Structure 1
């Protein structure tokens, strides 16, 4: 055992004994509390993964999201209106989440909401409310990513639950999750959004990083669950079609968006910067807490369908025609 590992484990034992961060799951009578399920996990990677889904103590946690959105246009085909590699937006926001136990079972959900604002490419804290499309010359309202329910699960958690493959890189543990997304909205929603074959195709790519000291403090030893949130960093990239508010049909406007962002965990909503909380308090108060129970998940496209298109009472083409000025 190396010196740092031995020191870290010793510090962990002292911390747990002195601060009470190790909670006894049987102390809770809440049938939805995740703690009694979490303590069954013995695999270290499984413990780390669950702590990115939510806090084992059942309280809300936040992943703050900050990054940029670029135009990815083969052959620079849209220049000079949109140049390949051009930063179109910054993105600033967060996902607020909790671990939720299906009452009196071993099944867990990650329940979350996310609100991510498109902001000025030169000023990340200036939330954009309109955007001028350089292809058609019209100005459209900017609709932030606002997904009222983003659920993962249910997944059964027992002593055999295991997490992803871990890699140690310098002073951090890292793991990766790459997710190909393919959904035929033409079939599921009856709305094509100008997508080729009515199908949304994207790649979501995540890298998770946790400091070794945090690993040893929160995922070493069995029979207890840690309070608070695990300090986690995430690198996120996404390639996807033009956002629906941009009114650029994929069928006729060549190109896509590349999102590149960083994310880091926070204890809860109150830990966000004041400028974000001011905007959310005024206009998006639903996103101050995670959902209290599982619901139908949304993404940027189904959220736009539900909220801007009235669940199908109007079409995307009609929205663009009505809102473009």
Structure 2
């Protein structure tokens, strides 16, 4: 799922523990219940620091990190995932350009100030479901791998947490370059990702050299009326009306059990995102799925902590932080 500008969306996926006897995936994963949300302490509210910013671009970009009033906001995510296969080498089992999944979910985030300082954090969680390629509202529980013929449990993107910071905010803080396109003010964030998981986790996930390499690309857009309303003096209320286009090219998702070393190809994610004032604004069908299975994702984190991406999340939750291997998980969970 959006890293600096968005979710790590998008970024970046997760799952649960397995021991020496790796459990099959019959039962859905149950997240711990979310604690009741309490109002942020006054010393952690970002508003007083935000109010010192004078640069227009800085004000806009900070409002994509979170609401200046410190309350939760949501970036709703909707898109699709395609097979990107060099030379169409997996055809007819898996052809280049084939739509594999729809993608539906959100990143929930807030701006947090280290108490009584000018240091801000973006704190977030993201939950994004792989859904039926013909029906975006039908969450997939399993997926048949057309290469090996086995059926695997589908693991949603569930990163707890995705944090950024601290970054110091002063009156000289500036944002990214802006471009005016008709009535829209736009800016971009393109992030090349390269992480040696073999070295850091001791788990190679079938990746070439054990290295996760991806490209995350974001376009942010705010219309001129919203820009005018949100860049004046003071602390704006609510979430800024923002639209985002997100694309990611990355290796096969871990639950697909396709080793990059043996199966040439990648995934291309293409999604749109838009801001919502709060979790309550998320559609009922999506809230019902979250509340039944992943209630932790009803709220942003209350304080800074370690971050996850799709692969470390899978390692932490599905592989029990190394209690089992990715290959063993695939062997135990794949059904002929």
TM-score (norm 1): 0.90
> Is 1:229 aligned to 2:239, yes or no?
yes
How far does the alpha carbon of each residue in 1:58-105 deviate from its partner, in whole angstroms, 9 at most, with x for none? 000000000000000000000111000000000000000000001111
Give 1:192's match in structure 2, choosing from 200, 204, 207.
Answer: 204
Report the counterpart of residue 162 of structure 2 in structure 1: 150
- Once residues 176 and 237 of structure 2 are traced to their aligned partners in structure 1, the CA distance between those partners, rounded to angstroms, is 22
- Once residues 219 and 200 of structure 1 are traced to their aligned partners in structure 2, the CA distance between those partners, rounded to angstroms, is 38
- Correspondence 1:58-73 to 2 at 5 A: 58-73=70-85
If you compute each CA radius of gyration, which structure gives the higher value, 1 or 2?
1
Q: Secondary structure at the match of 1:225?
A: coil
Report the counterpart of residue 221 of structure 2 in structure 1: 209
Report the counterpart of residue 306 of structure 2 in structure 1: 296
> Is 1:174 aligned to 2:174, yes or no?
no
- Once residues 321 and 248 of structure 2 are traced to their aligned partners in structure 1, the CA distance between those partners, rounded to angstroms, is 26
Give 1:104's match in structure 2, choosing from 91, 102, 116.
Answer: 116
Give 1:36's match in structure 2, choosing from 44, 48, 59.
Answer: 48
- Correspondence 1:236-251 to 2 at 5 A: 236-251=246-261
- Once residues 92 and 282 of structure 1 are traced to their aligned partners in structure 2, the CA distance between those partners, rounded to angstroms, is 16
Gaps of 5+ in 1: 1-27
Report the counterpart of residue 90 of structure 2 in structure 1: 78
> Is 1:284 aligned to 2:294, yes or no?
yes
- Once residues 295 and 68 of structure 1 are traced to their aligned partners in structure 2, the CA distance between those partners, rounded to angstroms, is 30
CA RMSD after TM alignment:
0.8
Q: Where in structure 1 do 4 or more consecutive aligned residues deviate above 2 Å?
A: none
Give 1:312's match in structure 2, choosing from 322, 326, 331.
Answer: 322
Offset of 1:295 from its aligned partner?
Answer: 1.0
Offset of 1:214 from its aligned partner?
Answer: 0.3
Report the counterpart of residue 278 of structure 2 in structure 1: 268
- Once residues 137 and 74 of structure 1 are traced to their aligned partners in structure 2, the CA distance between those partners, rounded to angstroms, is 21
How many aligned residue pairs are there?
296
Offset of 1:306 from its aligned partner?
Answer: 0.5
- Once residues 322 and 225 of structure 2 are traced to their aligned partners in structure 1, the CA distance between those partners, rounded to angstroms, is 50
How far does the alpha carbon of each residue in 1:210-255 deviate from its partner, in whole angstroms, 9 at most, with x for none? 01000000112x3x11010000000000000000000000000000
Q: Which has the higher helix share?
A: 1
Gaps of 5+ in 2: 1-39
Q: Secondary structure at the match of 2:42?
A: coil
Q: Secondary structure at the match of 1:31?
A: helix
Offset of 1:29 from its aligned partner?
Answer: 6.8
Offset of 1:111 from its aligned partner?
Answer: 0.2
- Once residues 281 and 72 of structure 1 are traced to their aligned partners in structure 2, the CA distance between those partners, rounded to angstroms, is 33
